[in-house]
Amino acid sequence: MASEIKQGTLELVNHLPILQVITPMLIAPLLVVLNNKTLSWLLSFLGTLACLFISILLIQGVSDGSILTYYLGGWVPPIGIEYRIDAANAILLFLISIISVIVLIFSYSSLHAEIPEEKHTLFYSCFLLCLTGLLGVVATADIFNVFVFLEISSLSTYVLVAQGAYLDRRALSASFNYLIMGTIGATFFVIGIGYIYMATGSLNMMDIAERASQLGDNRTIQAGFAFIVVGMGLKLAMVPLHIWLPNAYTFAPTVVTCFLAATATKVALYVLIRFVFSVFNYEDNFVNELFFLLLMPLAVIAMIAASVIAIFKQNLKKLLAYSSLAQIGYMLLGLSLMSQKGLASSLVHMVNHGFTKAALFMSLGAFMLNTKNVYIKSLRGLGKSMPFTSAAFVIGGLSLIGVPGTAGFISKWLLLEATLETGYWLVAILIIASSLFAVIYIWKIIEVLYFSECSESYSEVSVLTLIPIWILALFCVFLGINTSLTVDVANMATEILFK
């Protein structure tokens, strides 16, 4: 501790990395104290807008390749907790913040249909805590801090998923499953952190990387890494550990499903990426073999199997949940190629798939406002009575398939390029096969929407519900045409990670 008198010298702009995380953390308890339904929506909306603004400033700050650091409490790392923003996490902070803003606009007009009014304040408070957790995981450079924020986000996620019980009691068992699996994952993760701390005596990512490189081939660190891969595998729904995801996504309120599908699994994948490249040595034989022999086959199985299962699902939320598993397979595949292009495709796909899946789930939520359920048969002929929602759904679906001109195309193209560059022809063929399965299940829905007789006539949902859906749909198109936000930032991020 510095003993001399120190004057406060930091400007507000220096505080951006921490403000990003603590703005929602400050508002969450405030909502509970004020306990006013309208005010709590307004405050959370303003809070997330502030987060979005901060994340844009952060992207600008790191766009020249620089790294923003922040020492919590003025304690210098490795003793203190350090926040460290580079291109890789700035893009994810942006994704999480913008999705939270859009989801909150959607919740204003749709939440009352899924959650009783008296619970709205607590719901928004929980939502903001979840947001705090996700942002914190991404921003921090301290591995124990990662665990703490991961638990903040997970615990509030369990509560948010359980809120679906108002419409369907099965949400409770889905949430409980998620709780058990998520807690096992967190336990594995923290055991891994324990092993790393045992071997290196440090919790700061940069410091660990430095100390571990001096240790060479260390069995303790390898065991720690294996634990972390399994723990994060549970959180990101890597295929044999995915069992919690379909039910959690299906029975959670639509607002929650949108938010989780677009952010939560991506954040877990980000943690894995961060550990592989910033904490461990990605050139290490052990890491490479683990990814080549274990994660790549699992990713390919996820791509194919989950897509095939999705084709046969009648509940559309469940169908999209299985499709999410397949998409997570793409991202894992990009990572497990262990090449710059592969990692870049993985990062780009995180963002693109985030927008795509959010658009799809949100338009399902709009259908649900009218039809009360999302079984494929109840969507008959909605293309005529709800033209705008259906059109947005189609755009999202095209992006999910990867049609040129949409966001999905960009990331799938990059992934194909990366696999061909590494020479895995078979994997490239399987990626295309998986996309064809996506064509089947999306076409199945489009056929019902546009080419079946309308059983009942519904009116289009309100403009306020359509706005967030169309923002997301337009993002799907925009990111397919203008790639400066995604591909360029991802390339810069991989430069930093691979140095």
Least Cβ distance, residue 21 to other proteins (angstroms): 9
- Interface with other proteins by CB under 8 A: which residues? 1-3, 5-12, 15, 18-19, 22, 25-26, 28-33, 35, 70-74, 125
Q: Count other Cβ atoms within 10 Å, centred on residue 397.
A: 27
Least Cβ distance, residue 80 to other proteins (angstroms): 9
- Closer residue to other proteins (CB): 71 or 478: 71
- Give the C-alpha separation, 149 to 112, whole Å: 29
Least Cβ distance, residue 350 to other proteins (angstroms): 28
Candidates 228, 154, 223; CA nearest to 189 is 228
Cis amide prior to 24 (ω within 30 degrees): no
CA angle 20, 149, 116 (to 5 degrees): 85
- Closer residue to other proteins (CB): 40 or 371: 40
- Closer residue to other proteins (CB): 29 or 240: 29
Place of tokens 């780009």: 348
- Closer residue to other proteins (CB): 18 or 376: 18
Integer angstrom CA distances of residue 446 from 145, 187, 483 = 44, 42, 28
Element (H, E) at 262: helix 254-274
Least Cβ distance, residue 154 to other proteins (angstroms): 17
The sign one gets for the Cα dihedral 262, 263, 266, 268 is negative
- Closer residue to other proteins (CB): 1 or 426: 1
- Closer residue to other proteins (CB): 154 or 250: 154
Least Cβ distance, residue 33 to other proteins (angstroms): 5
Q: Is 405 helix (H, G, I), strand (E, B) or coil?
A: coil
Q: Is 464 helix (H, G, I), strand (E, B) or coil?
A: helix
The sign one gets for the Cα dihedral 241, 243, 249, 253 is negative
Least Cβ distance, residue 31 to other proteins (angstroms): 8
- Closer residue to other proteins (CB): 9 or 214: 9
Least Cβ distance, residue 47 to other proteins (angstroms): 12
| Cα 246 from chain centre | 15
- Give the C-alpha separation, 200 to 190, whole Å: 15
